């Protein structure tokens, strides 16, 4: 689900930061959700001000549930005390959508993009995020597609990647979560994305084997550059710690 937006203060279109280059930062170990969320907000402010290039953050999280603006509390299926017992964090955040899960083995990508230079097309932006995932899965011989009623990427009526974004002043936050080697048991804590009649799956479940997170990440970065027609520049320090 996409937040409704009105452009109030677009980025400066004559800024050097409007060059079509994507800075990519990757983490080698699961990281706390709040750390990446705070970093997104910092980068978003810099992007709005025209002081930074488009940026893509790629990571895994420690077990976390997030609830978007349209989340319904009945889609949380256990008491908060049970989440604490299991070591699962819970955050109510400013993206579109309902409840979703993030955790080890799930590849999460957060693009902070200036849509002034990517067409100012919100449905097109969501479509492109889906396309990045579909092409990435094809590299592993997984045929995936879209659902006419629900945002995300699907394999045989099961969601393999969730998408939830926030767009303000034509600059994006939040993004997509692709189940690679995810422990799917955590999804029993929620009705994922508030959808009751469809399931969830992962690459490992489909392929009956674990998949290299680094390989999936590399494929996704490559397809992101192709789909968005943008040059990719990896963090010169390598994987962030």
Residue 119 DSSP class: T
- Point out the catalytic residue in the list 11, 59, 193, 219: 193
Q: What is the DSSP letter of 70?
A: T
Q: Cα(128)–Cα(114) distance, rounded to whole angstroms?
A: 14
| Annotation marks residue 11 as catalytic | no
Task: Report d(CA 102, CA 50) in Å as an integer.
Answer: 30
Q: Which of 89, 110, 84, 113 is nearest to 100 (CA)?
A: 89
Which phi and psi angles does 129 have, rounded to 5°? Answer: -60, -45
Measured CA to CA in angstroms, residue 89 lies from 31, 78, 118, 186 at distances of 12, 13, 34, 12
Q: Which residues contact 34 (CB under 8 A, 6 or more apart)?
A: 89, 91
Q: Distance between CA atoms of 208 and 46, rounded to whole angstroms?
A: 42
Residues with catalytic roles: 193
């Amino acid at each position: 689900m996409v937040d409704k937006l009105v452009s109030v203060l677009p980025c400066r279109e004559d800024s050097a930061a409007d060059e079509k280059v994507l800075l990519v930062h990757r983490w080698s170990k699961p990281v706390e959700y709040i750390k990446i969320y705070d970093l997104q907000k910092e980068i978003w402010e810099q992007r709005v001000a025209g002081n930074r290039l488009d940026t893509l953050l790629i990571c895994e999280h420690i077990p976390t549930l997030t609830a978007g603006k349209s989340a319904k509390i009945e889609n949380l299926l256990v008491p908060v005390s049970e989440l604490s017992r299991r070591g699962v964090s819970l955050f109510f955040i400013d993206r579109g959508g309902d409840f979703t899960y993030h955790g080890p083995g799930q590849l999460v990508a957060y693009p902070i993009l200036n849509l002034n230079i990517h067409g100012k097309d919100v449905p097109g932006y969501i479509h492109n995020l889906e396309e990045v995932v579909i092409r990435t899965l094809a590299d592993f011989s997984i045929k995936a597609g879209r659902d006419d009623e629900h945002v995300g990427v699907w394999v045989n009526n099961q969601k393999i990647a969730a998408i939830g974004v926030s767009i303000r002043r034509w600059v994006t936050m939040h993004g997509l979560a692709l189940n690679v080697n995810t422990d799917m048991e955590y999804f029993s804590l929620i009705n994922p994305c508030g959808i009751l009649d469809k399931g969830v799956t992962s690459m490992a479940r489909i392929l009956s084997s674990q998949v290299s997170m680094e390989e999936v990440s590399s494929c996704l970065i490559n397809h992101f550059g192709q789909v968005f027609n943008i040059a990719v520049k990896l963090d010169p320090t390598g994987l962030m710690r």
